Amino acid sequence: MPNSSEEIVINKPRRRSRIREAHENTILRAAEQLFSQNGYHGTALETIAEKAGMSKQNLIYYFSSKELLYQRVLRNILDILIEKMTLMDQLGDSPREILTNYIKSKIEISRHYPNASKVFAIEIINGAPYLKKYLQTHLTPALDDDVKLVEKWIAEGVMDRVDPYHLFFMIWSSTQTYADFSSQVSLSLGKEKLEDNDFDRATEFLTHLVIKGLGMK
Amino acid sequence: MPNSSEEIVINKPRRRSRIREAHENTILRAAEQLFSQNGYHGTALETIAEKAGMSKQNLIYYFSSKELLYQRVLRNILDILIEKMTLMDQLGDSPREILTNYIKSKIEISRHYPNASKVFAIEIINGAPYLKKYLQTHLTPALDDDVKLVEKWIAEGVMDRVDPYHLFFMIWSSTQTYADFSSQVSLSLGKEKLEDNDFDRATEFLTHLVIKGLGMK
DNA sequence: CTCATCCATGACCACATGGTAAAATAAGCG
DNA sequence: CGCTTATTTTACCATGTGGTCATGGATGAG
């Protein structure tokens, strides 16, 4: 009677209750923000629990260890960042449109998910201990495809002959800087906080620079 | 007889012995590297002492607290980073040359002081708690001067009408990325470590992009 | 030599913090 | 209702770590 035992297994998922779902999300959001401000070691479980409105022990009930919680935060972040990470995913009829949309997408991520971007950045700076494998299996192949696409454009005479890899490094860094280094940027601009306006100007500048700098159109 | 008391004051500095000088440097270098890899909270004094080849208590003899040590590391880093931070400091007869040298300088910093750059980056990402004041009093005014210079160039028709601030953000981020995000960059290029060659290609790419993208010459 | 100051070590502590164990309470389902 | 399971609280512990204190050597100027 293997069926009866299967039934039990099928019934189990009921356990993922609404409460659990909700609390896990609250915790993850609190953790993301605190990790982005103080790093992994600089953030105490107690502090996360406080921000999430519960006791530390209760937090541990939902995430059995700090490291596990951190990895979950990282995975959530990757889901966000990866989605529009590749050129291929961009809409557009011409190379120029595709590149423009790519830059816009990446600025949008900095605008809307600054904390996620920061946690990711710290992780990379520290040598990507948790991410190395993921980057190797997921991101690097996608990048290589994008590079091939750019090389095709170059071969077709659509744009100047430049090193595609460094083009991507430039786009990544100069779009992420509006999230990761927002404190320096806003200080330089003499504002408390970056406004929509600033992101728009950034997009405009970068688009101009890339399109014209690559000799497109 | 104020002279005699002055003599004593003058004699005091003898205390800064060779040993102290040497050990402080060893400690600072060890600390810089470890802070860049694990952050402030992720680095134990014990670990720094070990790397510096002495006991923790002895390290504390030279730097009476961890925070003080960290601030000294930061100050050393600032000395390095600030030196060639401004356009004004660059040699060159034409705007084009000046910009080219500026990019080259900043890539050189990433090449030669990756650890310093990383510690600085983490500090900025975390909201620049220690650096805010310094940035406000030193860096922001220098940047404003540089912006004025670029605006003059624009007025003279030497280059396209772009937002100078975002130009600097772009140069800063895309040069620093070769230090801060070196793990991601080298992974993308399929190497263990970045080589001189890579820095040269980066310089070449960025120079091409900026000069052509700004419509210079 | 010698005496003050610098350098180094060993023993120790206060405290923050990640994590455990167990008991109490709430919720859902037959 | 009663029984199971999910959630929360209370009490506690082990460990890592920044920092102190007292003491013992080393060193250099006079």
Give the pLDDT of residue A2.
Answer: 38
Tokens 């961009």 sit on residue: A90
The CATH code of the domain that includes A120 is 1.10.357.10
List the B39 CA – D16 C1' distance (angstroms): 17
Domain end, chosen from A64, A97, A119, is at A64
Is residue A54 located within the same domain as residue A91? no
Q: Are A27 and A69 in contact (CB under 8 A)?
A: yes
Phi-psi region for residue B162, left (φ > 0), alpha (ψ -120 to 50) or beta? Answer: beta
| B22–chain A nearest CA distance, Å | 28
Mean pLDDT of A28-52: 97
Structure token pair of residue A178: 């509006």
Q: What per-residue confidence (pLDDT) applies to A16? A: 59
pLDDT at residue A105 greater than cutoff 50? yes
Please state the rounded mean pLDDT for residues A132-143: 93
Average pLDDT, integer, range B4-18: 45
| Residue B43 resides in a domain | yes
Distance from CA of A12 to the nearest CA of B (A): 39
Range of the domain at A209: 74-217
Encoded tokens for B189: 């290029």
Would residue B206 count as lying in a domain?
yes
Q: Cβ(A150)–Cβ(A216) under 8 Å?
A: no
What residues contact A125, with CB distance under 8 A and at least 6 apart?
B36, B118, B121, B122, B180, B181, B183
CA torsion B180-B182-B185-B191 (nearest 10°) is: 180
Collect all residues of chain B within an 8 Å Cβ-Cβ radius of residue A132.
183, 187
The sign one gets for the Cα dihedral A165, B82, A189, B132 is: positive
Residues B30 and B125 in one domain: no
Which bases of chain D come closer than 7 Å to a protein CB? 5-11, 16-22, 28-29
Residue B47 contacts A, CB cutoff 8 Å: no
Same domain flag for A47 and A119? no
Residue that finishes a domain, picked among A10, A34, A64? A64
Measured in residues, chain A has a length of 217
Domain boundary among B19, B40, B64: B64
Give yes or no for B165 touching A (CB within 8 A).
Answer: yes
Residues of chain A with pLDDT > 70, as a percent, come to 93
pLDDT for the residue numbered A184: 97
The mean pLDDT value for B55-71 works out to: 96
- Asked if the C-beta of B174 comes within 8 angstroms of chain A's C-beta atoms, the answer is yes
Convert the pLDDT of each residue in B93-105 to its tens digit. 899 999 999 999 9
Same domain for A34 and A117?
A: no
SS3 category, A35: helix
Segment of A133-142, B135-144, B167-176 carrying the highest mean pLDDT: B167-176
Judged against a pLDDT cut of 90, whether residue A10 lies above it is answered with no
pLDDT on residue A11: 36
Under an 8 A CB cutoff, do B184 and A135 touch?
Answer: yes
Exposed (0-12), middle (13-18) or buried (19+): which is B146, by Cβ within 10 Å? buried
pTM (2 d.p.): 0.91
B5/A30: higher pLDDT: A30
Same domain, B33 and B91: no
Q: What pLDDT does A125 receive? A: 97
Q: Is B9 in the same domain as B116?
A: no
**Which pLDDT does position B115 carry in this prediction?**
96
Determine the average pLDDT of the residues in A41-64. Answer: 97
Interchain contact B215–A (C-beta under 8 A)? yes
pLDDT of residue A118: 98
Lowest mean pLDDT among A2-16, A61-75, B45-59: A2-16
What pLDDT digit, counting tens, does each position of A148-203 carry?
A: 999 999 999 999 999 999 999 999 999 999 999 999 999 999 999 999 999 999 99
Q: Is the pLDDT of residue B15 over 90?
A: no
Beta-carbon contacts of residue B61 (< 8 Å; ≥ 6 apart): none
The answer on pLDDT for B111 being more than 60 is yes
Q: Kindly state whether residue B60 falls inside one of the protein's structural domains.
A: yes
Question: How many angstroms away from the CA of B21 is the closest CA of chain A?
Answer: 29
Q: List A residues 84-123 in contact with B (Cβ-Cβ < 8 A).
A: 118, 121-122
- Which domain CATH number covers B12? 1.10.10.60
Are residue B40 and residue B97 in the same domain, yes or no?
no
Do A190 and A94 have their domain in common?
A: yes
Query: Is B69 part of any domain?
Result: no
- Contact criterion met (CB below 8 Å) for B185 and A150: no
Look at residue A14 in the predicted model and tell me its pLDDT. 44
Which secondary structure element, helix H or strand E, spans residue A2, and what is its range? helix A2-11
| pLDDT reading at B38 higher than 90 | yes
Residue with tokens 């620049």: B128
Distances (CA, A) of B39 to A35, A176, B2, B121: 12, 20, 48, 11
Convert the pLDDT of each residue in B161-178 to its tens digit. Answer: 999 999 999 999 999 999
Decide if A69 is inside a domain: no
Residues in chain B within 8 Å Cβ distance of A169 = 174, 177-178, 181, 185, 188, 202
Query: How many domains is chain B built from?
Result: 2
Same-domain pairing of A193 and A119: yes
